């Protein structure tokens, strides 16, 4: 608490101080009011310059659909099957292409007699075989075409095709025996074939040499 006022001069000085404080408060209030008015005026100018404002519409969230695998057309599969079957024709005449030996062996152009001798003697290991026993002609043709396609993918060089001796067929005639030779000659990947040895099936099977580096 301030001390007591002792004389007139001190009272006068106090009045001046109070007056100065009042003037300072009034000046501060006037400045605050001026700034508020100026701020409102600026805001009015801004609103009038841009006009009415609407919030932007938020588009719905897009979730990309996961693409499904394309279906395999049935017609495409049918065309492939038809091409597979047509690649092995029953109308192909191979009589002039077969060697005149009793086994009716075959060697494509460029395959020498030494290769055929090695094939007959089992020089190359049989990597896989196809047994056509009990199959009808169409079934056997399809199975052989698919087997040769698989052989090309796997890189097989020597395979055995078992066509049977025809003991269970009508008139005991080996129907598939000639058909298989006919089909094999039409496939470019077949380099040569001959009748299997007795231990490998004899007249009921063929040893087939396929494309690739021929071992010596």
Output the pLDDT for position 206. Answer: 95
Radius of gyration over every alpha carbon of the chain, rounded to an integer in angstroms: 51
With beta carbons less than 8 A apart as the criterion, state whether 106 and 98 touch.
Answer: yes
How far lies 61's CA from each of 55, 57, 58, in Å?
A: 18, 12, 9
Q: Structure tokens of 163? A: 């066509």
Question: What pLDDT is attached to residue 195?
Answer: 93
Beta bridge partners, 129, equal 160
Find all residues with CB under 8 Å of 82, minimum gap 6, and list them: none
- The pLDDT of residue 27 is 86
**Contact yes or no for 189/148 (Cβ under 8 A):** yes
State residue 8's pLDDT score: 55
Report the pLDDT value the prediction gives residue 22, as an integer from 0 to 100: 80
Query: CB of 185 within 8 A of CB of 106?
Result: yes
Which residue, 118, 46, 87, 66, is CA-closest to 187?
Answer: 87
Q: What is the pTM of this model?
A: 0.53
pLDDT of the residue at 178: 87
What is the pLDDT tens value at each position of the chain, 216 positions in all?
544 545 556 666 767 777 888 888 888 888 888 888 888 887 777 777 766 666 666 555 444 455 555 565 555 555 555 554 445 555 545 444 444 455 678 999 999 999 999 999 989 999 999 999 889 999 999 999 999 999 999 999 999 999 988 665 555 556 788 899 999 999 999 999 999 988 888 889 999 999 965 444
């Amino acid at each position: 608490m301030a001390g007591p006022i002792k004389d007139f001069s001190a009272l006068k000085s106090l009045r001046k101080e109070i007056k100065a404080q009042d003037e300072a408060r009034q000046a501060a209030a006037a400045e605050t009011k001026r700034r508020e008015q100026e701020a409102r005026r600026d805001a009015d100018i801004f609103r009038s310059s841009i006009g009415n404002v609407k919030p932007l519409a938020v588009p719905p969230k897009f979730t990309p659909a996961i693409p499904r695998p394309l279906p395999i057309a049935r017609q495409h599969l049918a065309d492939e099957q038809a091409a597979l079957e047509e690649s092995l024709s029953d109308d192909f005449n191979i009589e002039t292409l077969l060697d005149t030996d009793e086994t009716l062996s075959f060697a494509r152009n460029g395959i020498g007699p030494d290769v055929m001798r090695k094939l007959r003697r089992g020089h190359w290991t049989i990597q896989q075989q196809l047994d056509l026993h009990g199959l009808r002609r169409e079934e056997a043709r399809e199975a052989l075409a698919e087997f040769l396609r698989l052989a090309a993918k796997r890189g097989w060089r020597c395979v055995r095709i078992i066509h049977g001796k025809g003991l269970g067929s009508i008139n005991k005639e080996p129907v598939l025996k000639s058909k298989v030779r006919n089909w094999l000659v039409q496939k470019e990947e077949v380099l040569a074939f001959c009748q299997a040895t007795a231990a490998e099936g004899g007249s009921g099977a063929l040893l087939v040499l396929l494309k690739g580096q021929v071992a010596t």
